[in-house]
Structure 1
Amino acid sequence: MGDLIAEAVEAVRARPRTALTALGIALGIAALVATIGLTGTAAAQLSARFDALKATTVTLHGLSEDETGEVGRVERLNGVVAAGVVSAASGELPTVRASGGPPVETVVMSASASALRALNVRPVSGRAYQDDTDRGRQVALLGDIAARSLGIDHPNTEISISGVTYRLIGIVTTPELDSQAPLAAIIPDWASAKRIDFGEPQLVIKTRLGAAQQVGREAKVALRPQAPDTLPAEIPPDPRHLRAQVETDARDLFLLMAAVSLLVGALSVANTMLIAVLERRHEIGLRRAVGATRGAILTQFLIESGLLGLAGGIVGGIAGLDVVIAVALAKGWTAAISGWVLAAAPLTGLLVGLSAGLHPAVRAGRMEPLTALAT
C-alpha cells in the first residue's frame, strides 16, 4: 500500500494539469464552509438587526366604546410599554387646508397621546400633544409627508380639517415603513372633529421585545374576559421562530449553490482522471504485464483522485474560513463557525474525490495488458 501511495503522489506531482482540477473541489468546499459560517454569523446578529417595531406591536380590532375606555387595564400588563386607541377617517378623504392654501385631501387619524407613543410617532419639529397639558385644546399634528404636500415647513400655525380650525403644534414621522402617520393629519381623541366619520377604533400596543405573544393573549382577556377569542388581534410572530426560519431559508439557498459548485468540481476531477487513464494506457499495460493486479491499478487511481479531493478540501476549508472572517470584520460582527465544519471540509473533499475517481479507476483496473500495450 505504501508503494501505491508513493506512486499516486508522484503521478499527481508529475501532472500539474491534474492537480489544478482540485481547484474545482476547493471552490465547492470553500462555498460550503463560507455558507455555513456566514449563516451562523448572521444569525448571531439577526436579533440586533430585527425590526423591533414590528416585533413589538400588537393591534386589537373591533373594540366597543366601553372597551376603549379600559385601556388602562392593558397598560398595566407586564411587558407593555404603551397602549392607545387609534381611528382613521373612513369613506372619502377629508380636506386639510393650510392658512391661505388650497384644500388637499389627506388621511386623518384620531389618536390618544398614549397611542402616539405606541405608534412610535416622533416629532421632526415642534412637539406631540400631551394628556396633561393639551387636553381640551384644538391641536393637531401633521405627518412630514403631509406637511410637505400642504407647503408647511414649521408648526405653530393654524390648519383647517374639514372646516374645523386646529392649532398645528408639531410635524411628526415614524420609522415604521407601512404606517400612515407620515401621510396623515393626526388629532387627539378629545378634539372636536365635525363632518369626519371615523372608522372602528383600534387598540395599538407597544411591547417589550419578546413579549408580544404574551401581551396579545392577555390583552384580549383584560378587555373582553367573557369571550377573549372573539376579539380580533394582530400579533407578530415570535422573533425567535422568524429568525430560525430566515436562517434556514438562507442556509438552504446557499447550500444548494455550494452543492452545485461541488458537483462541478467532482465532474472536473472525474473527467481529468478519465483522460489520465487514457493517456497512461501503456503505463497501465506495462504494470499489468509485470504482475500488477486489477485491484492495485484501481487502488492507485482511487488514491490519486482521493489526494486531489483531499487537497481541494484543505484549501477550500481554509479559503472558506478566510471569507467568513473577512466578512465578519468588514461588518463589525463576531465570526461564528463550528469546529466540526472545518474538520469536515478535508473529509468531504476526500469523499468527493474518491466518488469522482471511482469510474476512471474501475476502467483502468479492467484494462487487459495486451490491449493497453497495443493501443
Structure 2
Amino acid sequence: MSRATDRRTGLTRLSPATLGPRDVLHVGSAGLRSRPMRVVLSALGIAIGIATMIAVVGISASSKAQLLEKLDALGTNMLVATPGQSMFGDDVKLPKGSPGMLGRIAGVEQVGATGDLDQSVRRTEKIPKEETGGITVKAADDGLLRTLRGTMASGAWLNAANDRSPSVVLGHVSAQRLGITGAGQQVYIGGRYFTVIGIIDPLPLAPEIERSALLGWTAASNLLAFDGHPTSLYERSTDASVHDVRDLIPRTVDPENPHNVQVTDPSSALQAKAETEGAFTNLLLGLGGVALLVGGVGVANTMIISVLERRHEIGLRRSMGATRGQIRLQFVTESLLLSGLGGIAGLVLGATATYVFAASGGMPWVVPPWAVGGGFGATLLIGTLAGLYPAVRAARLSPTLALQAV
C-alpha cells in the first residue's frame, strides 16, 4: 500500500500499490512453480494442438515447395501439339513436315516429335502379342530428349549413328515392366529383336514417354513401316512468348485445318497439384484446432482448481490491499504463461516433425512464418479466454470468506 494526503481534508489516504511487469510475472508464475507436474499435464494439451497445426502446415508447405522447385527445373514453357478429330469425327494426322514448320515460329527454341506405331514390345517372341504391359512403341527424333529436358539413367539417346539401326530407348516405367536393367539387352518388336541402347530417367511432364519404347525415326520407317506422320509435337519457347506461340501452333502446323490441332500445357497438372496441395490440409488443421480447444479447456479447468486451492492466498493478498483488478491480472497472467509454455513446446515439436518428414522425403524444410505467428497467437488467445472466468471468480472472493475457508 502507498500513502497519499488529501489536500482538502488533510487526512492520509491509503491507495493500492501498482504492479510493474516484473511483479506481474512473479505473482503470475508463483502457482506454476508450486505445481510443476500439473503445469506439464495442462500444457501438454496445448502443445499437442499447436504441434499438429504447425506440422500439418509445414508438411504441406514443404510438399508445395518441392513441387514448385520441380516446376522451376522442368519449366512451364513447354507445349504439346497433338492431332484432334475432324468436324465429322474422323481421326486426323499431322503433316509430315510439321516439326520443321513448328520450329520456324518466332520464340520457339526447341522441337521434338514422336509418332505412334501399331506394334507391341515384349522380351521374347514367346510372349503373346496381346500382353503389351501398357507399353507403347513410338518413333522419336533426336531433339525429343533435349526438348523434354530429360536425362539418361543409363546408356545413350538416339542419334544419327543409331537412327537407322534396330536400336531402342526405353522409358523408366517401360524398363521396369520389361525387366530391363541396362543397355545391351534385347526386346522383341515387330517380328525382330531390337537392342536397348539406353533408359530414360523419369519425365514428370511427359508420362507417356515413360511408358514407351522409342525407336529412331528412320529405323521406324525402314523396319516397321512407319508412315512418317508425327502424333505428338513437343516445343520449348521463351517464357515471354508462350501465349503467342500457343495461338500460332494450330495455324502453323496445319494451315488448312488448324481446328484439327490440339495444344496442351503439360505443366498445368503440376501447377494445379501445387495449388491444391492445401485442400486436405484444411481438414487436418481443423483436427489440430479441436485439439487446441481441448487443451484450452484443460487450462481453464486447471485454473479453476487452482483458484479453489488457493483461496487462503487470495484472501491474504486481498486483506493486505491487493485490488480485484490485481487478482484478475495475476490469474490471467498465470493462464497465459501456462498456455505460452505449451505453445512454445508445440512449435518446437511441430517444426521438428516437419523437419523429419521433409528430410526423409528429400523435400525442402519449410515452416511458414505466418503459421508460427498464428499458432502462438492462437495459444495466447486460448490462454486469455481460459483464464478469464477463473480470474473473475478469484477476484470476487471476499477476503474474510477466503481466510475462513482454511
TM-score w.r.t. structure 2 length?
0.65
Structure 1 pair 142/374, CA: closer, same or farther in 2 (3 Å)?
closer
Asked if structure 1 preserves the Cα contact closer than 8 Å seen for 2:138 and 2:213, the reply is: no
Partner of 1:17: 37
Identify which of 113, 116, 121 aligns with 2:141.
113
Give yes or no for the alignment of 1:355 onto 2:385. Answer: yes
TM-score w.r.t. structure 1 length?
0.69
Identify which of 78, 83, 99 aligns with 1:62.
83
Shift in Å, 1:275: 1.6
Asked if structure 2 preserves the Cα contact closer than 8 Å seen for 1:324 and 1:335, the reply is: yes
Structure 1 pair 267/252, CA: closer, same or farther in 2 (3 Å)?
same
Partner of 1:85: 114
Query: 2:115 & 2:199 partners in 1: Cα distance?
Result: 16
Query: 1:7 & 1:152 partners in 2: Cα distance?
Result: 71
What is the number of residues matched between the two proteins? 362
Structure 1 pair 327/110, CA: closer, same or farther in 2 (3 Å)?
closer
1:154-173 superposed matches below 5 A? 161=190, 163=191, 165=192, 168-173=194-199
Compute the RMSD of aligned alpha carbons.
5.0
Residue 234 of structure 2: SS of its match in structure 1? strand
Partner of 2:6: none
Could you list the per-position Cα deviations for residues 283-317 of structure 1 after superposition, in whole angstroms to 9, with x for gaps in the alignment? 44566677766544433322221222233444555
Query: 2:223 & 2:234 partners in 1: Cα distance?
Result: 25
Could you list the per-position Cα deviations for residues 124-172 of structure 1 after superposition, in whole angstroms to 9, with x for gaps in the alignment? 55x5554x5566x5735264857985999875979561x5x5x624344
Partner of 1:102: 126
Report sequence identity in percent.
Answer: 28
Q: Give 2:337's aligned amino acid.
A: L
Structure 1 pair 304/229, CA: closer, same or farther in 2 (3 Å)?
farther
Could you list the per-position Cα deviations for residues 306-356 of structure 1 after superposition, in whole angstroms to 9, with x for gaps in the alignment? 222233444555666666778778888876667676666655433221111
Residue 104 of structure 1: SS of its match in structure 2? coil
Partner of 1:141: 168
Partner of 2:232: 203
Structure 1 pair 351/182, CA: closer, same or farther in 2 (3 Å)?
closer
Q: Give 2:19's aligned amino acid.
A: G
Q: Give 2:103's aligned amino acid.
A: E
Query: 1:319 & 1:97 partners in 2: Cα distance?
Result: 52
1:176-187 superposed matches below 5 A? 176=203, 178-179=207-208, 184=213, 186=215
Residue 179 of structure 1: SS of its match in structure 2? helix
Residue 102 of structure 2: SS of its match in structure 1? helix
Q: Give 1:304's aligned amino acid.
A: E
Query: 1:319 & 1:158 partners in 2: Cα distance?
Result: 53
Asked if structure 1 preserves the Cα contact closer than 8 Å seen for 2:110 and 2:143, the reply is: no
Identify which of 289, 293, 302 aligns with 1:263.
293
Shift in Å, 1:16: 1.9
Structure 1 pair 16/212, CA: closer, same or farther in 2 (3 Å)?
farther
Shift in Å, 1:48: 3.3
1:1-375 superposed matches below 5 A? 1-2=18-19, 5=24, 6-20=26-40, 21-30=42-51, 32=53, 43-50=64-71, 58-62=79-83, 64-65=92-93, 67-77=95-105, 78-89=107-118, 98=124, 101-102=125-126, 104-105=128-129, 106=132, 109-114=137-142, 116-117=144-145, 120=150, 122=152, 124=154, 129-130=158-159, 132-133=160-161, 137=164, 139-141=166-168, 143=170, 145=174, 161=190, 163=191, 165=192, 168-174=194-200, 175-176=202-203, 178-179=207-208, 184=213, 186=215, 188=217, 189-193=220-224, 201-207=230-236, 214=243, 216-224=246-254, 228=258, 231-238=261-268, 241-242=271-272, 244-245=274-275, 248-249=278-279, 252=282, 255-256=285-286, 258-284=288-314, 294-317=324-347, 347-367=377-397, 373=404
Higher mean C-alpha deviation, range 304-313 or range 181-190: 181-190
